[in-house]
Structure 1
Amino acid sequence: MLILLNKPFGVLSQFTDAGNAGSPRATLSDLVAVKGVYPAGRLDRDSEGLLLLTDDGRLQARIAHPKFRKPKTYLVQVEGDPEDASLDQLRRGVALKDGPTRPAEVRRIDPPDLWPRVPPVRYRKSVPDAWLEITITEGRNRQVRRMTAHVGLPCLRLVRWSIGDWSVSGLEPGCWREA
Structure 2
Amino acid sequence: MAQLLIFNKPFQVLSQFTDDRAGERRATLADWIDQPGFYPAGRLDYDSEGLLLLTSEGALQHRIASPRNKMPKTYWVQVEGDVADEAISRLRQGVELKDGPTRPAAVQRIAEPQLWPRNPPVRYRESVPTSWLELTITEGRNRQVRRMTAAVGHPTLRLVRCRIGEWHLDDLQPGESRLETVHLPQPAGTRPKSAGKRRPTRKTRPVKP
- Structure 1 residues 89-104: aligned runs within 5 Å: 89-104=90-105
TM-score (norm 2): 0.84
Structure number, greater radius of gyration: 2
Find the partner of 1:9 among 8, 11, 17.
11
Structure 1: 4+ residue segments shifted above 6 A = none
How much does 1:68 deviate? Answer: 0.4
Q: How many percent of aligned residue pairs carry the same amino acid?
A: 66
Partner deviation per Cα, 1:142-176 (whole Å, 9 max, x = no partner)? 00000000000000000000001101110000110
How many angstroms apart in 2 are the aligned matches of 1:172 and 1:86?
Answer: 32
How many angstroms apart in 1 are the aligned matches of 2:120 and 2:58?
Answer: 34
Instruction: Provide the residue aligned with 1:126 in structure 2.
Output: 127
Amino acid at match of 1:16: T
Partner deviation per Cα, 1:108-155 (whole Å, 9 max, x = no partner)? 000000000111000000000000000001111000000000000000
How many angstroms apart in 2 are the aligned matches of 1:157 and 1:70?
Answer: 22
TM-score (norm 1): 0.98
Amino acid at match of 1:71: P
- Give the secondary-structure state (helix, strand or coil) at the position aligned to 1:85: helix
How many angstroms apart in 2 are the aligned matches of 1:128 and 1:65?
Answer: 37
- Structure 1 residues 157-172: aligned runs within 5 Å: 157-172=158-173
Which structure 2 residue ranges, 5 or more long, are not aligned?
Answer: 181-209
Instruction: Provide the residue aligned with 1:49 in structure 2.
Output: 50
How many angstroms apart in 2 are the aligned matches of 1:123 and 1:165?
Answer: 34
- Give the secondary-structure state (helix, strand or coil) at the position aligned to 1:49: strand
- Structure 1 residues 1-179: aligned runs within 5 Å: 1-18=3-20, 20-179=21-180
Partner deviation per Cα, 1:45-97 (whole Å, 9 max, x = no partner)? 00000000000111111101111010100000000110000010000001111
- Give the secondary-structure state (helix, strand or coil) at the position aligned to 1:91: helix
How many angstroms apart in 2 are the aligned matches of 1:53 and 1:71?
Answer: 17
Amino acid at match of 2:97: L
